[in-house]
Amino acid sequence: MSNGFHVAIVGATGAVGAELIQLLEQREFPLRGLKLLASSKSAGQALKFKGEEIPVETLSKDSFKSVDIALFSAGANISKEYAKRAVTAGAIVVDNSSAFRMEPDIPLIVPEINLSDIQKHRGIISNPNCTTIIALMALYPLHANFGVKRVIAASYQAVSGAGAKAIHELSLQSRLFFSGESTAPEVLPHTIAFNVVPQVDVFLDNGYTKEEVKFVNESRKIMHHPTLRASITCVRVPVFRAHSVAVHAEFEQPVSVERARDVLAKSQGLELVDDPSSRKYPMPLLVAGKNNCQVGRIRADSALDNGLALWVCGDQLLKGAALNALQIAEALDK
């Protein structure tokens, strides 16, 4: 495939699809052709790519002829219905949904962490959950050096994680708030403007949400660490894009703040922003639109042996979704 790839984006009109199109423009991806796919509601639209208008086609079982790589970002139900059809047609699928992440024979990849797992793919490669990716960008380098055994975390998740309609919902509710009006939430479970909602995804019988369970299970799989003990509370906050995660981690080996900073400062895809005396620390506004995640507020955890507390931020639509998927696709050319 040295002449380039024919790429299809499934869910091209969504928030992640838009980022994938921009990234394909910005990065030197070996692209030979681009097909944009979405539901029938989007048929007839055209999206700009490198100065040209590319029509959006209706996704169907016949959409994947001559496609080399199919980037799926249209939800688990669509992936379950069409991903294996794409593989049968000859494409390699990079799937951004939860459909296949925990299947043992399907790699779950963060390129900076476990890229070698990509060799095990049988046509489908899974992109992890956005919160998992962003947290592990800081946690994994520490694990590789000191051996993490326990993690307690809380996420502060932007509405972009719930898609383009949730972004619009926050914008609309914010405007209406100042005019004394209100509108019933349609995408999120409660009003999100000037509020925080301690629910991301649906609740399970154990009291955790699916999002919270994803973090635990996916972290174990990505880091090849089945005995990791982890618990997280996932919270939706009135931020348009970029997730934040407060991480409290306990390690097998003694770890100092200085050694942790040194490890994190050298980690690929991660920037150390940690100077509290100058009020410098990661924030969603600083990482929105940026490829790298940021880590800061690094300190000895006062409640854990060999523990560290840290604060990680990353753009959910980029490293948390589109960029990670495209990095996987880029690795297929090597």
- Would residue 6 show up in a list of annotated catalytic residues for this protein? no
Q: Which candidate, 183, 6, 192, places its Cα nearest to that of 92?
A: 6
Place of tokens 């982890």: 230
Rounded to whole angstroms, the Cα distance separating 181 from 175 reads: 9
Spatial separation of the C-alpha atoms in residues 330 and 207, rounded to whole Å: 39
Cα angle 188, 194, 195 (rounded to 5 degrees) comes to 55
Cα 100 to Cα 67: distance, rounded to the nearest angstrom: 20
Annotated catalytic residue, options 6, 121, 130, 234: 130
The answer to whether 309 and 297 have CB atoms below 8 angstroms apart is: yes
Q: Report residue 27: phi and psi, to 5°.
A: -95, 155
Torsion-angle region of 4 (φ positive above 0: left; ψ -120 to 50: alpha; else: beta): left
Question: Which residue is catalytic, options 6, 121, 143, 243?
Answer: 243
C-alpha distance from residue 260 to each of 40, 43, 112, 223 (Å): 50, 50, 18, 18
With contact defined as beta carbons under 8 Å apart, do 56 and 43 qualify? yes
From the number of C-beta atoms within 10 Å of its C-beta (0-12, 13-18, 19+), residue 233 rates as middle
In terms of phi and psi (left: phi > 0; alpha: psi -120 to 50; beta: otherwise), the region of 295 is: beta
Q: Which residue has the tokens 């409660």?
A: 190
DSSP secondary structure, 259-274, as one string: HHHHHHHT-TTEEE--
Q: Do 248 and 153 contact (CB within 8 A), yes or no?
A: yes
3-state secondary structure of 168: helix
The answer to whether 243 is a known catalytic residue is: yes
Q: Which residues are catalytic?
A: 130, 243
